[in-house]
Structure 1
Amino acid sequence: MARKKPPTTHGIVIVDKPTGITSHDVVAMLRLRFNERQVGHGGTLDPSATGVLVVAVGKATKLLRFVEKTRKAYLGEIVFGSETDTLDADGVVTATYDMGDVSLADAQALVAKHFTGEIVQIPPMVSAIKIDGKRLHELARQGIEVERPPRPCTIYSFQLLPTDEPNVFLAAVECTPGTYIRTLAADLGKMLGGGAHLRNLRRTAVGRFTIGEAAAPDDCELLPVEEAVRTLDRVDITDDLAAVVANGRVLPHFGGEGPWALFDPAGSLIAVYESYRGEAKPAVVVPQG
């Protein structure tokens, strides 16, 4: 059996994902562009959604989990007066409501009371999480609906702004990963005495990766591997300690919560360490060369 060719291209790219394609489609495009099989993304966007998708190439894929854990920021439009089977504009309308002119002040008051801070959500049936080994969206396509346990999330900020359309508000949300913006829209519509769905969702930030530095899959710049840990605490170490780190040695705690990105005197990322029982334990040792 032939051995897999080791990756030769390494780094991350900040993609502005276009609408109409999946996150996996973006990965496939970048595999062709960089002639590299080892490519992965950090945090799925629905096909209709646009915006920041962080993609890792080569050895940077080992660091994706630290990208996925960072907070996310979104912009989207909440359309009051109709519900869909997918909770967004891609779905079939399942109910309509005469909600009059929805008051921005009333909606903001409900957001402040019920949709800010630590909350729980029921994942939509069109989500990718698994129940009993099957993805919810696969069951939904078969017309099957199952009970979903609520999941906690944190909403750091949820702002509503008026638009030129009646009963349509622009929503700006900052939240933990795993938050369903479409569920926020649907739940807010119910609390206002009717229903709502989400449209034109755009992710504007993943941690410190912002839409301002994102570009189309064909144009995005390959950034150094070190950029993947820009949100982590940096620790500069000596050459002697770097040799120990390369062997995966547990180290004394660095202080703070971690994780910590360890850099050698040449400025190369050599490992990421996490807090473990009062010490610092290697989570990822980055291959050199």
Structure 2
Amino acid sequence: MARRRPATVHGSVIVDKPHGPTSHDVVALLRRRFGERRIGHAGTLDPSATGVLVVGIGSATRLLRFATAGRKSYECEIVFGAETSTLDAAGETVATWRMDLDPTEVADAAAGFVGSIFQLPPMVSAVRVGGRRLHEIARSGEAAERVPREVEVYRFEVESTGDPRVYRASVDCSAGTYVRTLGADLGSALGGGAHIRALRRTRSGGFSLAEAESPERAALRPPGELVRDLRQIRLSDDDAADARQGVHLAAHRYDGPGPWTLIDPDGRLVAVHERVDDRLRATVLPPQSVRGPAAE
């Protein structure tokens, strides 16, 4: 008798990534847990960073690009007077300064980074240059030409600690912002240098630490959780049946630039519609997740 193939798992999990493992390590653990190879995440966290990691499983990986686009929130400590090779505490110290800082001066300098700014991606980042990731190029000892990237910083607040060299920082920013670069640039703006430590992502898009669980315990959620912050269009049973066949709704149902989630009368995700080159395109997904080990 032929062995039955295990059911494919479709869904999402919200992980509180611990200190130590890479984001890839977390994905590998979840592959083993759920028996599903198609797993991805919405934004890398370094091994030394912790916090919210949004993960898609099975066909839900097709929705991760919508989750990736959301703003992020972080907390960290900025250590002034020392620049490191990685711009965080994991690197080697490459330069030091004596910096006598006034809290008001530091706060004012941080406020100067709020808005649209350009950042140079750090050499330890996953940005690709010539088909290779910068951190791979850095490990090989080679150099790479990096192009500044425009990002948006919505909030950058700092407060002093008991150590005059160390400030706590809270950052709200667009996807693609490097907090380690923000800390280093703040140090430069104050006439010296700095690096960050204890980086923790407290929010990714609409997901917060209050919902996140350890990789070993994170519960399987429906695929539609990944797009819950998009504008919803609730469908009748007939419209839902049509949408599952790839039929588009009447154009007047779609106000604004999109994208939109299409929901059936029971609240289940039918599809995501978006505008591409002034035309509507549908991404059709299974209406329900398949229950996995964390949902038993």
TM-score by length of 1: 0.93
Q: 1:22 to 1:7 in 2, by over 3 A?
A: farther
Shift of 1:287: 2.7
The C-alpha deviation readout for 1:201-234, integer Å capped at 9, x for no partner, is: 0000011100111111111111122211111111
**How do residues 143-158 of structure 1 correspond to structure 2 at under 5 angstroms?**
143-158=141-156
Q: 1:236 to 1:6 in 2, by over 3 A?
A: farther
**Partner of residue 164, structure 2:** 166
**How do residues 67-216 of structure 1 correspond to structure 2 at under 5 angstroms?**
67-100=67-100, 102-113=101-112, 115-216=113-214
Shift of 1:275: 2.7
* 8 Å contact from structure 1 (residues 250, 279) kept in 2: no
Shift of 1:249: 3.1
The C-alpha deviation readout for 1:155-174, integer Å capped at 9, x for no partner, is: 01111112222211111001
* 8 Å contact from structure 1 (residues 7, 36) kept in 2: no
AA at the equivalent of 1:148: R
Task: Tell which deviates more after alignment, 135-144 or 209-218.
Answer: 135-144
Query: In 2, distance between residues paired with 1:274 and 1:201?
Result: 34
AA at the equivalent of 2:144: V
Q: State the secondary structure of the residue aligned to 2:275.
A: strand
Q: State the secondary structure of the residue aligned to 1:272.
A: strand
Q: 1:7 to 1:72 in 2, by over 3 A?
A: farther
* 8 Å contact from structure 2 (residues 13, 56) kept in 1: yes
The C-alpha deviation readout for 1:14-73, integer Å capped at 9, x for no partner, is: 100011101011011111111222221111101110000011122221111111010000
Q: State the secondary structure of the residue aligned to 1:164.
A: coil
Query: In 1, distance between residues paired with 2:83 and 2:272?
Result: 45
* 8 Å contact from structure 1 (residues 7, 37) kept in 2: no
Q: State the secondary structure of the residue aligned to 1:218.
A: coil
Query: In 1, distance between residues paired with 2:281 and 2:89?
Result: 45
1:287 and 2:273 are equivalent in the alignment: no
Shift of 1:152: 0.5
Q: State the secondary structure of the residue aligned to 2:13.
A: strand
Shift of 1:87: 0.5
* 8 Å contact from structure 1 (residues 59, 286) kept in 2: yes
Query: In 1, distance between residues paired with 2:44 and 2:277?
Result: 32
Q: 1:288 to 1:208 in 2, by over 3 A?
A: closer
**Partner of residue 247, structure 1:** 245
- Structure 1: stretches of 5+ with no match in the other structure: none
Query: In 1, distance between residues paired with 2:133 and 2:88?
Result: 19
Task: State which of 219, 227, 230 in structure 2 corresponds to 1:232.
Answer: 230
Query: In 2, distance between residues paired with 1:133 and 1:287?
Result: 33
* 8 Å contact from structure 1 (residues 40, 61) kept in 2: yes
* 8 Å contact from structure 1 (residues 271, 285) kept in 2: yes
* 8 Å contact from structure 1 (residues 7, 38) kept in 2: no
Query: In 1, distance between residues paired with 2:18 and 2:188?
Result: 30
* 8 Å contact from structure 1 (residues 13, 55) kept in 2: yes
Query: In 2, distance between residues paired with 1:26 and 1:129?
Result: 20
Q: State the secondary structure of the residue aligned to 2:224.
A: helix
Shift of 1:280: 3.6
* 8 Å contact from structure 1 (residues 7, 58) kept in 2: no
* 8 Å contact from structure 1 (residues 11, 56) kept in 2: yes
* 8 Å contact from structure 2 (residues 111, 157) kept in 1: no
Query: In 2, distance between residues paired with 1:280 and 1:133?
Result: 31
- Structure 2: stretches of 5+ with no match in the other structure: 289-296
TM-score by length of 2: 0.91
**Partner of residue 264, structure 1:** 264
Query: In 2, distance between residues paired with 1:267 and 1:287?
Result: 13
Task: Tell which deviates more after alignment, 272-281 or 80-89.
Answer: 272-281
Question: Number of residues paired by the alignment?
Answer: 283
Root mean square deviation, CA, Å: 1.7
Q: State the secondary structure of the residue aligned to 2:32.
A: helix
Q: State the secondary structure of the residue aligned to 1:36.
A: coil
Q: Identity of aligned pairs, percent?
A: 52
Query: In 2, distance between residues paired with 1:32 and 1:39?
Result: 11
* 8 Å contact from structure 1 (residues 42, 65) kept in 2: yes
Q: State the secondary structure of the residue aligned to 2:267.
A: coil
